[in-house]
Each structure stands twice: as structure tokens, then as C-alpha cells.
Amino acid sequence: MAEAKNQSEHMFVEWAQGIQSDNYDVERVAELLKGLEREELHGLDVGGGIGRYAQLVCDQVPGCSMTVLDKSELAIETFVDDPRLELMSVDYFSFEPAQRYDFVIFKTVLHHFITDNEADTAALQQRALKKARQLLRPGGLLLIEENFYQGVMGDDLPGRLIFAVTRQRWIEDVVRRLGANTAGEGVRFKSLSSWSKMIGKENFALRSLVCSPTWGRKWPLWQRLPLISSGRFQGVLEARAKAAPNEQQPSYTPSRYSSALFNPPSILERVRHSWEKASQKLRWVLAVCALTGPLTITTCALSEA
């Protein structure tokens, strides 16, 4: 187990070192923070690794500084040198700062908050969101970058299956070769609607979702089928801490988000939609046949004569 953890820590560091300023998520987060129109902003990057991502966000947002929190010793040893960043080497769940933040970011971190079973894992992830709510100033932003896995039968089925498989230590090597950097430890991904329900419970209002233009879009059928999944994607989800009745609601321009993703259609609706699409195609084929059929017969008849 210790060796698996070590291996995944090294992979996290390598991965973070490769983050570029034009990554869609850096740009999106910077755009949202600039939209707050504050001269100074202080945020918290939970599980922020070596601080590279926070550094790139600060580069793009004037007046921005961040506290980067991570429990990995390797991340601390390789932490970037930047006066705008404060490193907190602590477990998120025991972090008790005196201050509150303008924004809290979880970048590909929430799915690492796991225990050895489903129920406690769900409770832990919920606790993480509750804590984020307490750490935010009124009107503060919660920014979540996650890999979302959408299920066909039971919206959250792919996440459950991935958790069950990635936790297994006896197939750790095989699972790692298939691409899971936390093989033997486990990860618990969720669908977009599952996260939205959990966020809603903590009095957050969802504002926007921007998806990665590349990640997860091309998913081969052989990978999709075993998870009975309709798709996966990576996105930056923006939620805002709702103000309590006696607090003043700061002005904010809501951005667009996909309601179809937040409220996935039921199986019946999907079947009806597929049927409608298929019958539409069939009508086109029949129309083309009706038009070209007599023409072909006439041409054949004429050429025979």
C-alpha cells in the first residue's frame, strides 16, 4: 500500500509539473476570478500539490494570492517558489484556519477523498464540501475541476464500478497499466448530477460548467460498455455560496451551463429521443428512395431501349 501511494505521489508531481498556462482550466478559473472584480483576492487550493496550478492562476489574475494545502511530503519538497503562494502542509480535514477565503478550488482532488466503503466515502466527500462552505466568505466561489462519469442505468454506476476496481490490490498492476494512477488505493468519481446534489445540500448555487475541449471525448465502446456509461468528460464547475437571508447578496453575472448535463434525461426519455432520431433518418432515406427510384428505373429503361 505504501509503495502504491509513493508511486501515485510521483505521478501527481510529474503531472502538475506539466500544467501549462493555456490549459483550459487555468484560463476558465482565471476568467471566473477576474469576473469577481476585486482588487485583491485570496483563495484556497485544496490538494494543490506543488503549487504549479495556483501559480499559473495567480499569473493571470492581478491581485490574486493563494494558500495551497497538501498533505503529500513529496509535494512539499518540490513546491514552487512564489511569494504569492502560502503552503500549508496539512490534511484538509484537520485544517482549521482563522481566516475565510474568497474562493476554494478542488482541482482533480475530490475523487481522492475515499475510505474503504461506499457509504463512508460519500460521507467524506460531503464533509469536504461542507467544510469548503464554512471556509468561504459570503458570496465566495467554489470551483471544482473533476472528471465526470455519466451512467446509463443508474446515473452513478460508472463511478461505483471504477471505485470497486481501483481499490483491488490483487489486480493493482493490471489496473495501473490501464491508466489508473491510484490503482490499489481507489478513486470515487461521480456523475455531474451526483456532485450537484451534494453541493446543493451545502447551500451552494450552481453557476456554470465549462468542459475540457479534449479530455474524455473519444471513449472507445469497449471501455464504455463494461461501465454501462453514456460518457465522461472533464469540466470546471462553478458554484457560489448562497448568502444567508441577513447577508447582502453581492452582484454577480451568472454564466451559462448545460441544463441537460445537470438534469440528465431518464432512460424513457433517451429511448424516445433515439427513436425520434432514427425515424427522422428513416424518413430521409425513404424520401431519397422515392425521388431517385423512378429516376433510376426510367434511366435503366431508356438505356435498355
The SS3 assignment for 283 reads helix
67 versus 72: smaller Cβ distance to ligand SAM: 72
Beta bridge partners of 45: 68, 105
- Do residues 46 and 132 lie in contact, with contact meaning Cβ atoms separated by under 8 Å? yes
- Do residues 188 and 210 lie in contact, with contact meaning Cβ atoms separated by under 8 Å? no
The SS3 assignment for 188 reads coil
Q: How far is the CB of 15 from ligand SAM (least distance, A)?
A: 6
Question: Does 91 help bind ligand SAM (rule: CB under 6 A)?
Answer: yes
Question: Does 185 help bind ligand SAM (rule: CB under 6 A)?
Answer: no
Question: Does 72 help bind ligand SAM (rule: CB under 6 A)?
Answer: yes
Beta bridge partners of 211: 235
Q: Look up residue 122 and give its amino acid.
A: A
Instruction: Out of 42, 107, 176, 188, name the contact with ligand SAM by CB under 6 A.
Output: 107
> Applying CB under 6 A, which part among 78-86, 101-109, 151-159, 266-274 lies near ligand SAM?
101-109
Q: How many CA atoms lie within 13 A of 65 on its CB side?
A: 8
56 versus 261: smaller Cβ distance to ligand SAM: 56
| Element (DSSP H or E) covering residue 92 | none
Instruction: Out of 61, 102, 103, 108, name the contact with ligand SAM by CB under 6 A.
Output: 108
Here the cell at position 241 is 455560496
Question: Does 12 help bind ligand SAM (rule: CB under 6 A)?
Answer: yes
Contact positions with ligand SAM (CB under 6 A) in 41-60: 47-49, 53
- Do residues 132 and 90 lie in contact, with contact meaning Cβ atoms separated by under 8 Å? no
Q: Shortest Cβ contact with ligand SAM: which residue?
A: 47
Residues that bind ligand SAM (CB under 6 A): 12, 15-16, 47-49, 53, 69-72, 75, 91-93, 107-109, 112
